[in-house]
Amino acid sequence: MAAHFDLNIIVVGADKFTPAQRQQVNDSILVMTSIYAPLGPTVGTVNRFSISTANSRWLRSIPDYAGAEKLADLFSVKTNEAIDLFVVATMMANGWSPLPGKCPKLIRKSLRSPVVSLDGTAANSGNTFAHEIGHFLGLPHAEDDSSLVAPALVASNFMRVESGTNTSMTQAQSDRMGTHCTIRF
């Protein structure tokens, strides 16, 4: 198998997600997968978990960065080394992630795992999934490192600060992510 990362999708407050929101999670995974597929690393095994609203300690909606930290600390998947990606209904940003994520993932850091919301369309939230995983795998914003993304390419890059539905990736970004400790071959 090519260079890849495994992923734990953890839907928080899953019992309150509408059928359309559940479909958007699935569609967002497909969008994320399509962003990574051309250059890699690719998305490997996707494990799915859900946390009910009652068990979520009311972290279904994340009011601030500290709430994202608490969510990741309380509910990290301890049975595998896949990247945990928490999906919530709403939060103060489209997503947050450590830069880079630690290995093993249970090492305490200010934020241990990416947390994302379903903001906008599946194209937008799928980009957010890919963008926050990119941070976890060591990528800064596209505007912040011209050795990874030439200025002429920033506007369409998935790591742009305001990335929206952007899907392009550079070989240098792929190479950088390929060095992260969660990448498997």
56 has a pLDDT exceeding 70: yes
110 has a pLDDT exceeding 90: no
pLDDT tens digits along 150-167: 999 999 999 999 888 889
pLDDT tens digits along 131-151: 999 999 999 999 999 999 999
Q: How confident is the model at residue 176 (pLDDT cuts 50, 70, 90)?
A: very high
What the block records as the tokens of 131 is: 């963008």
Instruction: Tell me how far apart the alpha carbons of residues 185 and 5 are, in angstroms, rounded to a whole number.
Output: 9
Task: Provide the CB-side half-sphere exposure for 47 (13 A, CA).
Answer: 15
Instruction: Tell me how far apart the alpha carbons of residues 175 and 45 are, in angstroms, rounded to a whole number.
Output: 21
Region 43-64: mean pLDDT is 93
129 has a pLDDT exceeding 70: yes
Q: Can you list the domains of the chain with their CATH numbers?
A: 4-141 (3.40.390.10)
Instruction: Tell me how far apart the alpha carbons of residues 122 and 38 are, in angstroms, rounded to a whole number.
Output: 20
105 has a pLDDT exceeding 80: no
Beta bridge partners of 8: 47, 84
Cis omega (within 30 of 0) for bond into 100: yes
Query: Is the CA virtual torsion 24, 50, 59, 16 positive or negative?
Result: positive
**Hunting for tokens 């009311």 — which residue is that?**
58
Beta strand ranges found along the chain (DSSP E): 4-12, 42-51, 61-62, 83-88, 90-91, 95-96, 115-117
Q: What is the pLDDT of residue 120?
A: 87
Instruction: Tell me how far apart the alpha carbons of residues 37 and 45 are, in angstroms, rounded to a whole number.
Output: 14
* pTM metric for this prediction: 0.95
Q: What is the pLDDT of residue 121?
A: 92
